Amino acid sequence: MAKQLEGVEVENKLELYDRTSESHHSYPCTASMEKDREIGDTILHRAGYLIREAVEKALI
């Protein structure tokens, strides 16, 4: 994902989220889309939120 996002310019937080999500979803992933009872969401979605948070934190 980092290689896909390197050099990408965004104008606002929503665009950053979109670019991060595109990069995350295009990477080969084995995470389940089945809802996990403990976290209340799918593993794929939870991973996406964690990645988005990490990218945002790194840029601020």
Tell me the DSSP string of 10-41: -SSHHHHHHHHHHHHHHS------SEETTTTE
The pLDDT profile of the chain, 60 residues, written as one tens digit per residue, is 778 888 888 888 888 888 888 887 777 777 778 999 999 999 888 988 998 899 889 887
pLDDT of residue 35: 93
- Domain extents in the chain: 2-59
DSSP 46: H
Q: Which two tokens stand for residue 60?
A: 């601020």
pTM of the model: 0.68
What per-residue confidence (pLDDT) applies to 6?
83
